[in-house]
Structure 1
Amino acid sequence: MSFTSAAGHAGAVANPRSRVILASLIGTTIEFYDFYVYATAAVLVFPHLFFPPGNDTTALLASFAIFGAAMVARPLGAIFFGHLGDKRGRKVTLVGALLTMGIATFLIGLLPTFHQVGWFAPALLVVMRLAQGFALGGEWSGAALVATENAPPGKRAVYGTFPQLGAPLGFILANGLFLIIAAALPSDDPTRPSNAFLEWGWRIPFLFSIVMVAVGLWVRLHLVESTAFKKTVTDGKVHKLPLALVFRTHFRQLVLGTFYMLATYVLFYLMTTFSLSYGRAGTGAALPGLGYDYTTFVLMMIIGVVFFGIFTLLSGPWAERWGRRRTLIAVTLAIIVFGLTWVPMLAAGPVGVMAWLILGFSLMGMTFGPMGALLPELFPANVRYTGSGIAYNVSSILGAAVAPFIAIALWSWGGGSPFWVGIYLSAMAGLTLIALLLGSETRDIDIEA
């Protein structure tokens, strides 16, 4: 079964709907699985294995610094893969991004530790982490373009939620696998993984990623190019330097798109990475937290992530009905309020903590879902891969790269209270709200123009 594009080019060769959905979903699921595997290891494993012993807080901050280093590489990946995607097509670029990510993740599972090779170990970890970020810089925008450029009329926001759904699915797969391994290799100390887990168990999720990459490659190699890109080629609009063109003609859209994503990124990494540190920290730790054991808190997080997935899917029809801008303005206002409620919610015991996780991840789905359509719609087809990728990934530096680090600094400054971390989230959401108010609706643009 095939269908025409939003511009109505009847009879054009197109991808079947099921292939579009699967190709955009499975790739981002793998990419986010790889990222979550690292994020979990950054909290549980790397502070113990890749840095000198002596100061747990310093080791955790160093681990998060390497985590954030990938975000710096992402705009470079967006430029490189965006250039290829706007000149050579979406298909070959997506295959290259997926291979780069998969190989880097697999190699992390083979790295020596600080005890074995000293500072060479964290140096290698940085290299692999930069490769992960470089690949993800090209993955998301390509997957979003596959979804939106192949969507039926009036369904771009709905189809745009499928690559976004890879985030909650990747989280569940990555953390579910870590839970299984932790259960098989139990520890007597709830604040520290078992020796077997630290010696070899943590490597399994990284090595397993190669199997998922093989499946993703099989799906993507069966794609055909979108009508929007073919029309760009036919009309002679492929530009020699898409990067120069997008900065010259669509700089305002680049800036707006970057700030559209800011609240999403900050919320995303606070709810996934910071929350795992805060949830597991004991009341007597240097930075006191909620004091949950790893298994209990990750199970609570997985429940929250289920709501992430549900509201990601719901956000698509809402963005079609009310428009991308109106939907996101309402959600961003809710994020601002959410940031102001952290202390009373987290002080309300297990019920309050669970409500905090569900509400945070639900808002994450509602703000993340429409981005799959909104960011590509800001740019014309001949610079769409480059433009949407740069906006998405520069925002990762302003939001995700520094969010865990700033959160821990604010957590420490507040004497273990999450109050200032919540204020930080509200402030970043305020910047996103300003950008949305300055922007315009994109629902009715011609995706092939």
Structure 2
Amino acid sequence: MSDSASSTQHGLRGKPMRRVVMGSFAGALLEWYDFFIFGTAAGLIFAPLFFPESAPNTGIIAAFATFGVGFFARPLGGMVFGHFGDKIGRKVTLIWTLIIVGTSTFLIGCIPSWHSIGIWAPIILMVLRLIQGFGLGGEYGGAALMTIESAPPTRRGFFGSLPQAAASVGLMLATGVFALCTHLLTPEQFMSWGWRIPFWLSAVMLIVGLFIRLHTDETLDFQRNRPQLDTKKTPLPIVTLFREHPRTIWLAFGARLAESVSSNVINAFGIVYVSTQLMLSRDVPLTGMMVASAVGIVSCPLMGWLSDRIGQRRVYLISAGFCVIYALPFFMLLNTQDAFIITLSMVLGYNLGPTMMFAVQPTLFASLFGTHVRYTGLSFAYQFSSILGGMSPFIAATLLLLGNGKPWLVGMFMMLVSLISFVCVWKINATVKQVRKHGVSECVSP
């Protein structure tokens, strides 16, 4: 190892650490770009393209159902890739997830509309969304661990937040590309072929991401643990996970719900609510989320830096509590129909809510599991909770319909889920102390 890197005992530094961060960030960026362009497209254009024979509200619900169905494949992907990530390594597993996600996203942009092939259009969309979800299921845990398991223990909160900042970059790119296409093209051109451009651009990110990841080393924690995996026969990581951490895994699952639900309500559903229910230009919510995501690029690593000083658990509690309090005021601010206030509401909601939790989430969760089950543990907690998060726009659209166009049921849904997460994070403290006592975690505890 070069002089620019410290011993494995204290983590990588200098150029080797920068290379690891770049590899994690590139893959996470592709993941979140693909995630957000599908969510944005589902809210804005999938209904008339793939469900034209449905009533407007029913078409939107059907479009959001295709968005949500991918989340049902994510737990399977999380378990499959979590298994291989814990058995053969983080690096090779992440290369495969990147290929699956990038290819399926590109192909979504090639699907003919309902008017060309009829019922086969939404069927193909659903299948590709399931494949995309399968690949995404293995991406999160590995991308986060690539940096956390190689970083100095006292800075894992900060380094763990850097790949998380890719979510804000991906959101900004996704909304920015859609906004640019709507500006440069006529509505007819955009609905005919312009909507495909954001999906096709994922091919460029796939190529760049693969190049970087192929030149990234395996994590230090996994390298230290590798001799144990090679010299003894170990049970399946998922079996070991539930045997050693039966309580912890469900607390992590519950803790993650607030981030997943609030993110999709504020972003995917918020854009649709402003543009279809309040009848404002699509540029208003798209611009709002672009500004919010731009701020998130800075706030995410800032929260990671802060968590190294006051603890990941404390930062997470503050953010979950904010979501409980902010759920109803968020829609009150949107209902002003003022472009500046709408942007402000999205900036506050996105950055003090899901982004703040998301920044410290992988480091907090990684501290709960040993290296031999960590990829599986993170993937299980993240991907199974993602089912409710992915269905949130669908649930929100249904609640809006039940509320006669009023968003208060949606706000109460977000408030309840955030309260559940707050309680789970509160109880995590005792679990972390128990994990530290038994010495099964190499990560810095929150």
2:262 paired residue number? 267
Contact 1:109 1:206 in 2 (8 A): yes
Once residues 163 and 240 of structure 1 are traced to their aligned partners in structure 2, the CA distance between those partners, rounded to angstroms, is 30
Q: CA deviation at 1:340?
A: 3.1
1:191 paired residue number? none
- Structure 1: which 5+ runs fail to align? 187-193, 282-288
Once residues 65 and 183 of structure 1 are traced to their aligned partners in structure 2, the CA distance between those partners, rounded to angstroms, is 28
Contact 2:73 2:131 in 1 (8 A): yes
Once residues 76 and 122 of structure 1 are traced to their aligned partners in structure 2, the CA distance between those partners, rounded to angstroms, is 22
Once residues 317 and 45 of structure 2 are traced to their aligned partners in structure 1, the CA distance between those partners, rounded to angstroms, is 39
2:194 paired with 1:201: yes
Relative distance call for 1:201 and 1:348 in structure 2 (3 A) is: closer
Relative distance call for 1:365 and 1:5 in structure 2 (3 A) is: farther
Q: Percent identity?
A: 36
Question: Counterparts in 2 of 1:124-203, with a 5 A limit?
Answer: 124-186=124-186, 194-203=187-196
Contact 1:278 1:290 in 2 (8 A): yes
TM-score if structure 1 supplies the norm length? 0.91
2:328 paired with 1:340: yes
Relative distance call for 1:142 and 1:431 in structure 2 (3 A) is: same
Contact 1:156 1:373 in 2 (8 A): yes
Q: CA deviation at 1:240?
A: 4.2
Query: SS state of the match for residue 340, structure 1?
Result: helix
Once residues 59 and 339 of structure 1 are traced to their aligned partners in structure 2, the CA distance between those partners, rounded to angstroms, is 26
1:390 paired residue number? 380
Query: SS state of the match for residue 198, structure 2?
Result: helix
2:412 paired with 1:423: yes
Among 366, 369, 381, the residue aligned to 1:376? 366
Amino acid of the structure 2 residue aligned with 1:422: G
Q: CA deviation at 1:13?
A: 11
Q: CA deviation at 1:344?
A: 3.4
1:76 paired residue number? 76
- Residues paired across the two proteins, number: 432
Q: CA deviation at 1:15?
A: 7.3
Question: Counterparts in 2 of 1:37-436, with a 5 A limit?
Answer: 37-186=37-186, 194-236=187-229, 239-281=234-276, 289-350=277-338, 351-363=340-352, 364-398=354-388, 400-436=389-425
Q: Kindly indicate which of the two structures has a greater share of residues assigned to helix.
A: 2
Among 1, 8, 29, the residue aligned to 2:10? 8
Q: Deviations over 1:407-442 (max 9, x none)?
A: 112212222222221111111010001101211175
Contact 2:254 2:420 in 1 (8 A): yes
1:284 paired residue number? none
Contact 1:307 1:361 in 2 (8 A): no
Contact 1:15 1:223 in 2 (8 A): no
Q: CA deviation at 1:141?
A: 0.5
TM-score if structure 2 supplies the norm length? 0.92
Q: Which runs of 4+ in 1 moved over 4 A?
A: 12-15, 441-445
Q: CA deviation at 1:224?
A: 1.2
Relative distance call for 1:448 and 1:377 in structure 2 (3 A) is: closer
Contact 2:140 2:379 in 1 (8 A): yes
Q: CA deviation at 1:251?
A: 2.1
**Superposition CA RMSD, Å:** 2.1
Q: Deviations over 1:69-95 (max 9, x none)?
A: 111111100011011111110110000
Q: Deviations over 1:123-161 (max 9, x none)?
A: 111110011111111011101000100111300110111
Q: Deviations over 1:13-68 (max 9, x none)?
A: 99712112111111111111011111111122211111242411111111111100
Contact 1:232 1:238 in 2 (8 A): no
